[in-house]
């Protein structure tokens, strides 16, 4: 028969083991609950989503040259029937206007008066899924293409946001981005920050502010303002 002191020590030891075993399970359950809450909020927003507008800052970091290129401007999204259109006006020394409609992406460079047209073709669904990360896309749809993990709350531009990690399930997608982080504003159910990590160490950090949901956006936003002399280029796929 065990001495009472030994019994107490043994009880304390086994209690500690029990706590160590149960704590990760409880944390995992809580994390799963928090993730489900975020996805449900995104689903709710997606069900009534018509349009979005935001100011952005995009930082593109290249590890090989240890250099960061920064672009800023305004981005617009508009849902039309079963598809979504996107327009982005990039300001700065090399301004660009980007327009995604149907199966094509058009990039207009006013300084050289040239439009480059890319056909996304069979990759349209994948392209749209990246385009709409946190802007009108359903939260639970992410689970079809990504393994999701809830990383807790974190401040992003003054917003106490839910931070999600997305690991692409597709090998082809992982060749471009092997990890994505999203910061979701739980009040509005939209992304205030995104970070895409490439396998070789490069990354793109996108920060959004002045976000407006379901405001009326003029039709001319989704038209490129070209000239009669604009050169049109269609790279070979």
DSSP string, 60-103: EEETTTTEEEEEEEEEEEEEETTEEEEEEEE-SSS-EEEEEETT
- The structure tokens listed for 80 are 């039309």
DSSP string, 13-45: HHHHHHHHHHHHHHHHHHHHHHHHHHHHHHHHH
Tell whether the model's pLDDT for residue 23 goes beyond 80: no
| 181 within some domain | yes
- CATH number of the domain to which 101 belongs: 2.50.20.10
- Report pLDDT digits (tens) over 65-97: 999 999 999 999 998 877 788 999 999 888 999
- The structure tokens listed for 35 are 């993730």
Helix ranges, the chain (H): 4-47, 124-131, 142-145, 171-174
Number of domains in the chain: 1
Q: Give the CB-side neighbour count of residue 34, counting CA atoms within 13 A.
A: 17
| 206 within some domain | yes
| 104 within some domain | yes
| 11 within some domain | no
**How sure is the predictor about 32, in pLDDT bands with cuts at 50, 70 and 90?**
low
> Against a cut of 0.85, is the pTM above it?
no
Tell whether the model's pLDDT for residue 207 goes beyond 90: yes
| 21 within some domain | no
Query: Left, alpha or beta for 27 (phi > 0: left; psi -120 to 50: alpha)?
Result: alpha
83-90/146-156 β-pairing: unpaired
Identify the pLDDT of residue 7: 41
What is the number of other CB atoms lying within 10 angstroms of the CB of residue 26? 10
| 103 within some domain | yes
| 19 within some domain | no
Tell whether the model's pLDDT for residue 1 goes beyond 80: no
**How sure is the predictor about 237, in pLDDT bands with cuts at 50, 70 and 90?**
low
Tell whether the model's pLDDT for residue 132 goes beyond 90: no
* Domain span including residue 225: 33-233
114-119/231-233 β-pairing: parallel
Contact predicate 132/46, CB 8 Å: no
Q: How far apart are CA 106 and CA 39, in angstroms?
A: 31
Mean local confidence (pLDDT), 108-124: 88
Average pLDDT across the chain, whole number: 84
Beta strands in 91-158 (DSSP E): 96-101, 104-109, 114-119, 146-156
| 8 within some domain | no
């Amino acid at each position: 028969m065990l001495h009472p002191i030994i019994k107490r020590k043994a009880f304390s030891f086994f209690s500690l083991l029990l706590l160590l075993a149960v704590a990760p399970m409880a944390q995992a359950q809580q994390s799963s609950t928090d993730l489900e809450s975020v996805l449900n909020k995104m689903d709710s927003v997606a069900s009534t989503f018509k349009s979005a507008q935001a100011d952005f800052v995009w930082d593109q970091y290249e590890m090989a040259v240890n250099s960061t290129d920064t672009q800023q401007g305004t981005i617009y999204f508009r849902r039309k029937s079963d598809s979504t259109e996107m327009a982005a006006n990039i300001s700065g020394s090399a301004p660009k206007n980007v327009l995604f409609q149907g199966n094509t992406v058009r990039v207009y460079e006013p300084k050289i008066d040239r439009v480059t047209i890319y056909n996304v073709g069979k990759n349209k669904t994948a392209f749209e899924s990246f385009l709409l990360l946190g802007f009108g896309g359903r939260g639970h749809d992410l689970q079809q293409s990504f393994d999701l993990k809830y990383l807790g709350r974190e401040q992003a531009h003054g917003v106490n946001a839910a931070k999600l990690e997305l690991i692409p399930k597709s090998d082809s997608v992982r060749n471009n981005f092997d990890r994505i982080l999203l910061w979701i504003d739980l009040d509005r159910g939209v992304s205030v920050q995104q970070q895409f990590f490439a396998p070789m160490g490069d990354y793109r950090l996108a920060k959004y502010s002045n976000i407006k949901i379901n405001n009326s956006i003029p039709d001319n936003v989704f038209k490129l303002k070209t000239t009669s002399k604009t050169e049109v280029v269609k790279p070979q796929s």
